[in-house]
Chains A and B, each alone.
Chain A
């Protein structure tokens, strides 16, 4: 079969006044019809540039230096814009930013119709609309006819990404370039999107170039995978062979860095404590904590609804723990983070730090608490003030806490920079041009400078690629051993949690549905939601939980009108009568693990007690 896309000797360079840097260096590969080809590489390897070059979307300061991109025998790169526009119906592109790709002021359906009529002017408006609705239905957007007229703000992230796939697929393209499409999505939604793409290749005979920064994700989708390192194509193999027997050193490293989930026990984080004995003194305890926000009701003038972001959460974090809170978008983990760091006070319940309610702290006591608990933020670009020198950034917390002697401050800051592996030469520099990993080190340093006992990691690693994550996790481990820190990870990345944490709380719709030690959670989860998360998790090994059994359709219900009974029942494959009426309570399973499900043995007793 003739390849639908064939790239030969493609080189792209970044041209800046006075210098030039090669981004892609002599890349060559083919994509056959109906094939999904994965492209994997670290951030900065040139994946996005490659996917843009394939759709002939290279603009200054990037420039093509050599090579051909031929689509069904036509070289795209030499094509005049007019001819290229005609070809756009056959070549589609989906990016990683669904929010940025849709016009917020137009209904989603109309935007897709417009795109369709732009590439296929002979289609009538009515026909186009029917086609878009049929496709929206095909990507499982519920009540597609009504959703056709909704605005992007009324779509969730996953639905928007699916709408964009419709946008790409609507002209029946022969080639779809999917650039990191699953990155902004939750694992369960990402798994749905990947499954959808595989179906589409079969139904519409589309070939897909699936670009991803994560090898496990690419493995889910692609039958053949290319590995790109610093602009060079270093390896090309069928995906399974690539993972089983990587030939190039870089691929070997990449595969080795993917955390093992169910294999041999990965080394648990070294928690400095007496062997065997488990201290029971909780450093942070949540007692029945809830947080409710009032939000304006849509379509009304002044009416408000209660949004219950966190509901009756209770758990203890023991000193020296690496505690993880996992869950998907909208499950309340960010709210929980704001409660733990006392950016907000809970509307009910208490957050205790060493027995004291942090909501009541003020003045010097509050400063003392701040010294004890520090936050490391998610977004390496947003979380550093853009026009402050790095040294000044790190000095600020010290000044807040009453340090006055400039020499001592400077010494302390230098010590911390050294600790987290930042060159001290950066002291007077702006954070410009630093890589995400370096920026995240500054973030860690800013938290560490006060010598806290607890570090709250709010998705700290999720913006980094595998290699950077690997390095930072090693750093966290080192810091924990050196300073006896307690970590609280807020994360959606189960693989990272498996590697780094010893105790895990799984949240769904504002509730903790399962609380268990690492081993138990991954090998014997007590809640169907945990099983669904584990089954959707991209991994390189054989899964213990098959997506066919566990993966749920649809998206979580809105936290504004919560369903009666169990909040998870609408997506639960094992729901039964009792789930409809009675919310399950956290029930003890074994020594110290808890799950909130009626299916847990013994839950019935709790239910009866609750009913009585």
Chain B
């Protein structure tokens, strides 16, 4: 878009120079900036010039995150789960769909009196091994959760950024589409799309991804609108940067990371949604096991074989905890580096 079309829009609100002065003024009203101002050049060269000073900021954040205990626990847990999900079903040679009527409803290790080493997490009502079924289910859950959040974030952030940055008609059109999308309940959309055709994994990812992006679009739009009027954006324009460059090199790197940290929580939500779809029979179809279908099947045996319905939940819980631990460690590291520690 052209400079002329975009700028008078902004200048309507900007032409009163008093506002800019206020921005400068507000600095000395917050207690923390009194501290900052109290020392003419607080953290200049001396305190921080050590080895870390020569490393890039991204690297420093990574290092700081990696030093925290939460990150290590989360990373170990996640790595273990991912490795197990990737390797164990093949290595063990157990077919998750193989029935064994003689070994049906075996409890997990050391529980009850019939447990066996062959089935560490027990078996279900037709003798299928729970560990393998859960790990295969985890594969799909993780795949669908991460991929659908990626779809959500990409679509939402792209549309929100464009709407917020350019404003005007672009903004109106994009935000009305967002409103339209928001008005369709996710589960109805899922039933409509997945019920019309055989639910495949890409279709599930798309449905989950498409149902959730408006939230991201709105958040992104509002932060971009706040940032685009800032002076450093103007400085970039004057140095000749094109709009895509400003968006991609200046605004997106600044604004997307905080959003990514919250989107980690959405991975959890999506995995739960996937289970919901599986429970409704609209998820990945049997015989492929998923968390949702395992729970749906195990529900009838809840009283005498609680482990069937519980095990997927345990795996879900472990995975989500590990992801959240990692996300939180990153968030803290980023905040402390950018907060001047």
Contact = CB atoms under 8 A, between A and B. Distances in A.
Interface stretch (B30-38, B63-71, B123-131, B165-173): B30-38
A145 interface: no
Given A344-B4, A396-B239, A157 B18 contact: yes
B56 A396 contact: no
Given A21-B38, A96-B28, A157-B18, A377 B235 contact: yes
B7 interface: yes
A588 interface: no
A341 B11 CA distance: 14
Nearest to B251: A385
Contacts of B249: 396
Interface string B18-57: 1111111111110110111111111111001100011111
Contacts of B21: 157, 184, 329
B340 A384 contact: no
Interface stretch (B143-151, B226-234, B265-273, B318-326): B226-234
Contacts of A428: 53-57
Interface of B: 3-4, 7-8, 11-12, 14-29, 31-32, 34-45, 48-49, 53-57, 230-232, 234-241, 245, 249-250, 253-254, 337-340
Given A97-B22, A343-B234, A370-B239, 19 more contacts: A42-B40, A231-B38, A293-B15, A309-B15, A329-B21, A334-B14, A334-B17, A338-B7, A343-B3, A344-B8, A374-B238, A375-B234, A382-B23, A385-B232, A397-B241, A429-B48, A433-B43, A435-B41, A443-B235
A59 B237 CA distance: 41
Interface string A94-110: 01111110000000000
Interface string A44-67: 101011000000000111100000
A62 B31 CA distance: 8
A386 interface: yes
B151 to A, nearest CB: 26
Nearest to B53: A428
A367 B240 contact: yes
A433 B48 CA distance: 11
Nearest to B37: A44
Contacts of A375: 234-235, 238
A184 to B, nearest CB: 5
14 contacts: A42-B40, A48-B28, A97-B26, A180-B28, A343-B237, A366-B240, A375-B234, A382-B23, A382-B230, A428-B54, A428-B55, A429-B48, A446-B235, A450-B239
A278 to B, nearest CB: 29
A303 interface: no
For the complex of A and B, list the 8 residue pairs with the smallest distance between their C-beta atoms, beginning with the closest. Answer: A157-B18, A370-B240, A383-B231, A433-B43, A397-B239, A432-B340, A375-B238, A99-B22
B338 A334 contact: no
A330 B15 contact: yes
Contact of B45 (A344, A386, A387, A426): A426
- Chain A residues touching B, majority SS: loop
A389 B57 contact: yes
A520 interface: no
Interface in A430-455: 430, 432-435, 438, 443, 446-447, 450
Contacts of A60: 31
Name the residue among B3, B55, B56 with the largest chain A CB count within 10 angstroms: B3
A162 interface: no
Contact of B231 (A157, A378, A450): A378
Interface in A381-401: 381-389, 396-397, 400-401
A26 interface: no
B241 A438 contact: no
Contacts of B49: 425
Nearest to A60: B31
Interface of A: 14, 16, 21, 23, 42-44, 46, 48-49, 59-62, 95-100, 156-157, 180, 183-184, 231, 293-296, 307, 309, 329-330, 333-335, 338, 341-345, 366-367, 370-371, 373-375, 377-379, 381-389, 396-397, 400-401, 423, 425-426, 428-430, 432-435, 438, 443, 446-447, 450, 463
A365 to B, nearest CB: 11
| Best-surrounded residue of B12, B20, B45 (most CB of chain A within 10 A) | B20
Contacts of B236: 396
A468 to B, nearest CB: 9
A374 B28 contact: no
Nearest to A295: B12
B22 A423 contact: no
A426 B235 CA distance: 20
Contacts of A294: 8, 12
A16 B35 contact: yes
A562 to B, nearest CB: 15
A371 B241 CA distance: 11
A434 B44 contact: yes
B25 A184 contact: yes
A533 to B, nearest CB: 16
Nearest to B245: A400
Given A184-B21, A387-B254, A44 B40 contact: yes
B24 A381 contact: yes
A90 to B, nearest CB: 23
Contacts of A443: 235
A342 B234 CA distance: 11
A48 B29 CA distance: 9
A440 to B, nearest CB: 12
A430 B338 contact: yes
B239 A374 contact: yes
Contact of A96 (B25, B40, B56, B253): B25
B11 A293 contact: yes
A367 B12 CA distance: 27
B36 A329 contact: no
B18 A156 contact: yes
A438 B240 contact: no
Given A379-B20, A385-B254, A386-B254, A46 B38 contact: yes
